[in-house]
Amino acid sequence: MALIYDHLQNDTIAAIATAMSEAGIGIIRISGPDAAAIGSALYRTPKRNRTQIAQWRPGTIRFGYIVETDEKGNESLIDEVMLSWMKSPHSYTTEDTVEINTHGGMFLMNRILELVLKCGARMAEPGEFTKRAFLGGRIDLARAEAVMDLISSGNEFARKTSAAQLEGAVSARIKELREKILYEIAFIESALDDPENYSLDGYPDRLMETCRGLEKEMRSLLSHAEEGRILKEGIRTAIVGRPNVGKSSLLNHLAGEERAIVTEIEGTTRDTLSETVRVGGVLLHLTDTAGIRQTEDKVEQIGVHRAQQALDSADLILFVIDSSRALSMEDEEIAERIIGKMQEGKKCILLMNKTDLTCLVQEEAVRDLFTSKGADCPAILYSSLQTGEGMEELGEYVSGLFHTGEIAEKNEIFISNLRHKNAVKEALESICLVEDSIENGMSEDFFSIDLMNAYRVLGTILGEAVEDDLVEEIFSKFCLGK
């Protein structure tokens, strides 16, 4: 990468690298050319002697004390610490790095950070340590972003995806694509420069074959990207159904607590309630909606509006029906709205609830809500929120619906990051333009322009040729201390 080392910063940054909360230990990280000097100014050995940290063997950690020195040179003890020393380039940032492991009190950590800043370090900006790792050439941009994703991953799938990205799996795939493109660009350029040694006879056919291959690979990356996003960020799930069918009970059951108020009076769930739960290994962002129905009641109208919004933004709809009460107009209305959403590609599960009571609704009649309108009926599952029956099946079904098992087993590579996805999309468009040019019998230099563009945008995923402000923006999303 072109950026290596010439961007190394010459100031020293510091921040609390652990959580800003009470904890067993806290770490203050100092990175930059003065890291060792700052550490040496504050650290004393177990016998309270001074030491030159820069002289320590790199990669060591030692017990000792942090002291504050007043104007008269008197030292007072601030905390017992473990201090570690990593010498450039063998550190997270590639710079000289000192980490002070203190006791994890907020006040204490801030006090030590203050001392570090007094000794000449500058407060790090969010993500600045990782940014330095990127600018230092230790990791590419996709991997730097993975660090951020890894920190914020909310489930096992997200963690795995980010870890793979951090390992460089995504970068490797993107590099492969770029190499293939670069080969073609180089070939065309060589043939145009030196037609005696490189012949373009039959070349368009060969290039077409390569482009088709590239197109296929990019399409497969993109098709997994949406599933990846859903699995990583969670599935936006709307619970819908007429009043009193058990929507709030479902939310409570999944959330494992009395989150929504369950009552026997119709229309009490006036607003929407949200909760993030883990079902069958995937995260569901549940929204329990007020019964979708025409209503004169002002407050309820707001609820109905929100319910519609929840339906609009949902990836998954859980349609709850009370199997102990005959179907009504409202069920029909809701089914109609759902049909519209299913046509947009949203997934739906129909839950026949209250199986512990006498069943008054035949499955056939439920199917009819959909089939009479020419639509397919969603999967029907049975549940009782009174007894908990059917909840396990629901989990398994949701997990199957979003192919979590399949993806996890295949260890597919994902681009779960929106910026990467857009870059692949743009590269794909360029490759399709090359195919068009070939079909239209255009000259070879036309191919080069679009191939170059595909090469360039794929490079932005790795952080090549990305503009500085984009780099700023990406790293500013990091939490402080990382």
Give me the residues that bind ligand GDP (CB under 6 A), please. 241, 243-249, 262-264, 269, 353-354, 356-357, 384-386
Q: Which is nearer to ligand GDP, 369 or 407 (CB)?
A: 369
List Cβ neighbours of 442 (8 Å cut-off, separation of 6 or more): none
Q: C-beta of 477: minimal distance to ligand GDP in Å?
A: 37
Q: C-beta of 252: minimal distance to ligand GDP in Å?
A: 7
Q: Which is nearer to ligand GDP, 18 or 269 (CB)?
A: 269
Q: Which is nearer to ligand GDP, 64 or 241 (CB)?
A: 241
Q: C-beta of 344: minimal distance to ligand GDP in Å?
A: 24
Q: C-beta of 151: minimal distance to ligand GDP in Å?
A: 36
Q: C-beta of 270: minimal distance to ligand GDP in Å?
A: 10
> Six-digit token pair at 113?
């950070």
Q: C-beta of 300: minimal distance to ligand GDP in Å?
A: 12
Bridge partner residues of 211 (DSSP): none
Q: Which is nearer to ligand GDP, 249 or 430 (CB)?
A: 249
Of 140, 186, 218, nearest to 427 (Cα)? 218
DSSP codes, 84-150? EEE-TTSSSSSS-EEEEEEEE-HHHHHHHHHHHHHTT-EEPPTTHHHHHHHHTTSS-HHHHHHHHHH
Q: Which is nearer to ligand GDP, 361 or 479 (CB)?
A: 361
What are the φ/ψ torsions at residue 214 (nearest 5 degrees)?
-65, -40
CA torsion through residues 179, 182, 186, 192, sign: positive
CA distances to 15, 41, 276, 328, 387 from 264, rounded to whole Å, are 53, 68, 25, 18, 17
Bridge partner residues of 28 (DSSP): 16, 100
Torsion angle defined by CA atoms of residues 351, 353, 359 and 362, in that order, rounded to the nearest 10 degrees: -10
Q: Which is nearer to ligand GDP, 289 or 437 (CB)?
A: 289
